[in-house]
Amino acid sequence: MKRITLALACALGFAALSQPSLAKDITGVEAIDKDFGMYTLNWEPRGMTLIRWEIYNSNGFLVVCGGYSSSGGSIPFRLSKKALHAGRISMDDKVIVKDLSFFSILKNSNQKNEHVGEPANCYITDTPTPGKTEKPKFNIYIAKDTFRY
């Protein structure tokens, strides 16, 4: 019986290790500055999530960087993770990143200074950087911006 249990435990362990990661691989960290975009989610009856994000060029590909913080307790914090998991960023209405859960978690005590100077996790996309003459429009999309719990 012990042999079967050990064999089953080993098999499950190897199966878990061979599964692809669902989270995006973080490819770098960038300090948040005043030029980062800002987006807020409001939680009713209380709380707010502040999201800071930016797009960069790296060797001809777009890089998305971001971080977020939540105020109002553990429920808004937990729900913020779910909202970011379902979030996406688009360029000219074409989705370039799905699942923003790779964004760094920031201290909510720094919401007043809009997290300037704090680290934002970055992810290199497979989307080529637009040409110099193109003026793409980038949007962050989360199902809605006001939630009730």
Predicted TM-score of the model (pTM): 0.78
What's the pLDDT score for residue 12? 39
- Are 65 and 89 in contact by the 8 Å Cβ rule? The answer is no
What's the pLDDT score for residue 71? 94
Provide the 3-class DSSP secondary structure of residue 51.
strand
Q: Where are the domains of the chain?
A: 24-148
Provide the 3-class DSSP secondary structure of residue 2.
helix
DSSP state of 19: S
What's the pLDDT score for residue 149? 64
Q: How far is CA 120 from CA 4, 74, 146, in A?
A: 46, 21, 24
Burial class from Cβ neighbours inside 10 Å (0-12, 13-18, 19+) for residue 136 reads middle
What's the pLDDT score for residue 113? 86
What's the pLDDT score for residue 125? 94
What's the pLDDT score for residue 6? 41
Please give the average pLDDT of every successive group of 10 residues along the chain, which has 149 residues. 42 36 70 95 90 95 96 91 93 95 93 92 95 91 72
Q: How many Cα atoms sit within 13 Å of 88 on the Cβ side?
A: 11
- Are 49 and 76 in contact by the 8 Å Cβ rule? The answer is yes
